[in-house]
Structure 1
Amino acid sequence: MNVYYDNESRPGEGLAFVVAPTADGPPPGSHGGFLGLTNATLEATPATNRFVAVEFDTFKEPGGYDPDDNHVGLDVGTVASNKTASLAGFNITIATNKTAPANYTAWIEYDGAARRIAVYMGVRGAPRPATPVLASPLDLSELVPERAYLGFTASTGVSFELNCILDWNLTIETFPADKKSKGWVVPVAVAVPVAAIAAAAFVVARMARARRSMERRRQERLEHTLTNLPGMPKEFAFEKLRKATKNFDERLRLGKGGYGMVYKGVLPAAAVDDDDGRPPAATEVAVKMFTRDDAKCVDDFLKEVQIIHRLRHRNIVPLVGMSKIFKLHYITFA
């Protein structure tokens, strides 16, 4: 990114990367220190604003919540940052002019499992620094809607500057969610032509809707086929398989192939039905995890369940059940 101001003026006000509840434009009156995020009215009710932003602030607002005119801040529903960090100690000046021009890269990384955000910043072209300029606990699941928009906002006031997003990259990794947590990890290298921000947000939203629709159709086909299998195999809750494999511990991995991985596990007593009248006992199992995320993976999962479900041989481990969660499918053998 590049923030430029004329030598004759004073820079202001700043820009922000935001996770927002809607794709609506900036609220009226959000110029100046509101950074296009809120206004005087919305500032009175931060809990209802439902956004989280990382601000790159170039103007010290009166009121005492800005440490200086060159800082990074974490904004939760308000521009009065929950946490700020001055960049003076990192030899970084956000707003530059022709006397000392500079382009920067910012990495914004969110760990949904640890519920923590970290912001790194350095000269463009250099590797990501080892030390973040700002780090803070943060639980996005409590603060923004499940369906949200990513983008950028900026503002000017009496002071002005040119806020340029040069390019950007977004990576999201999703994991099977248990009952206690829903997590994502979001590393973001900030920057995009400003004129393309709205279009990018629209495209991302459309792609996400299309993907959800496709995944819903796959899930419906999967459930229909499994329901019509003769003697349908037992369906295990994902939590049971996770505990059986000690959270899919790498030390229990038996093998890896093009479609996924196989883990050794132990299901507790009574988790697997015995047909010979013996008392239920803990059962040693192999759990195959399908990790490919495409339609062919679903087809292969169904074919393997159908074939193995019919096989009976002393040298072939029998199928005892399966599980399906989000994009991952599991087959359990005993």
Structure 2
Amino acid sequence: MFRRKFTLWYGNTNVASFNTSFLINIFPQNNTHGEGLAFLIAPTIHIPENIYGQYLGLTNASIDNQTTNVIVAVELDTFKQPFDIDNNHIRLNIHSIRSVVSKPLTLENITLVPDASTPSFHNIWIQYDGVEKIIRVYIAGQPEKTSPTPPMPETPIIQYNLDLRKMVNRDSYIGFATSTGIQTQLNCVLQWNITVEYIVGIQW
């Protein structure tokens, strides 16, 4: 997690826009898949207990799906749980490991975890419009780690109406979360850029 808080909303109307992009490499160990990797907005850098396996470092069995979690995550899921559509999808989570929207990546010719002999690299762009209150997520493959960054796709793979003011703390941390269960994989964030709008206002 980035070790400073960002002010994401102010008063009753002002919500900050932000743009972030990152390059990832998810690599299987012993030809197995772990759980996945998530971009996370959270109230603290301190993780709860028992957040391994399906809880992906986000919640646990006691607190999952509680609004007091005040977390939002974009998850790159690589292990199929009973509530998942498959083991290769991207989804949006609010307060929970169960998604509000989930999109398979196989139809987009994207495989997050290839076999161990073929490393793969993927760029993810997340754009949040604080005026429209819409989050848009894009993804594109990249041949090699040092290859030029491909252009962002014109069409988001996820677009969802989201008022952050109602979902997260005004001052929140931003970063990444991940976990493994019985099976493991390496989850690598190789590059990360983020810009958050600075909000100036007066609380009336």
TM-score (norm 2): 0.80
Residues 1:52 and 2:67 are matched in the alignment: no
Give 1:180's aligned residue.
Answer: none
Match of 1:165, SS state, is strand
Amino acid paired to 2:38: A
RMSD: 1.5
1:3-82 correspondence to structure 2 within 5 Å: 3-6=26-29, 8-24=30-46, 26-43=47-64, 45-62=65-82, 65-82=83-100
How far apart are residue 98 of structure 1 and its match? 3.5
More helix by share: 1
Distance 2:150 2:116 in 1: 21
The C-alpha deviation readout for 1:135-186, integer Å capped at 9, x for no partner, is 111110110011000010000001110000001000123467xxxxxxxxxx
- 2:155 and 2:119 map into 1 onto residues whose CA distance is 24
* Runs ≥4 residues deviating over 3 A: none
Contact 1:9 1:160 in 2 (8 A): no
Q: Report SS of the residue matched to 1:167.
A: strand
Q: Please say if residues 31 and 115 of structure 2, whose CA atoms lie closer than 8 Å, have aligned partners that are also in contact.
A: no
- Bigger radius of gyration, 1 or 2? 1
Task: Name the residue aligned to 2:139.
Answer: 121
Matched AA of 1:39: N
Identity in percent: 40
What is residue 161 of structure 2 aligned with on the other side?
137
Please say if residues 120 and 133 of structure 1, whose CA atoms lie closer than 8 Å, have aligned partners that are also in contact: yes
Match for residue 153 of structure 1?
A: 177
Kept in 2, the 8 Å contact 1:5–1:95? The answer is: yes
CA distance in 2 between partners of 1:171 and 1:89 (Å): 30
- Residue identity opposite 1:170 in structure 2: I
The answer to whether the Cα contact below 8 Å between 1:9 and 1:159 also exists between their aligned partners in 2 is no
Structure showing the higher strand proportion among its residues? 2
Instruction: Give the counterpart letter for 1:59 in structure 2.
Output: F
Contact 1:58/1:95 (8 A) holds in 2: yes
| Cα displacement string for residues 86-130 of structure 1 (whole angstroms, at most 9, x for unaligned residues) | 111111111133332211110011111111111101123211111
For residues 175 and 121 of structure 2, the distance between their equivalents in structure 1, rounded to whole angstroms, comes to 19
Please state whether the residue corresponding to 1:89 is helix, strand or coil: helix
CA separation in 1, counterparts of 2:117 and 2:45?
Answer: 37
Q: Is the 8 A contact 2:25 2:187 kept in 1?
A: yes
**Structure 1 gaps, min length 5:** 177-324, 327-334
- TM, length-normalised to structure 1: 0.50
What amino acid does structure 1 have at the position aligned with 2:152?
R
Map 1:1-334 to 2 at 5 A.
Answer: 1-6=24-29, 8-24=30-46, 26-43=47-64, 45-62=65-82, 65-124=83-142, 125-174=149-198
Mapped contact 1:75–1:83 kept (Cα < 8 A): yes
User: Which amino acid letter does the alignment assign opposite residue 151 of structure 2?
Assistant: P
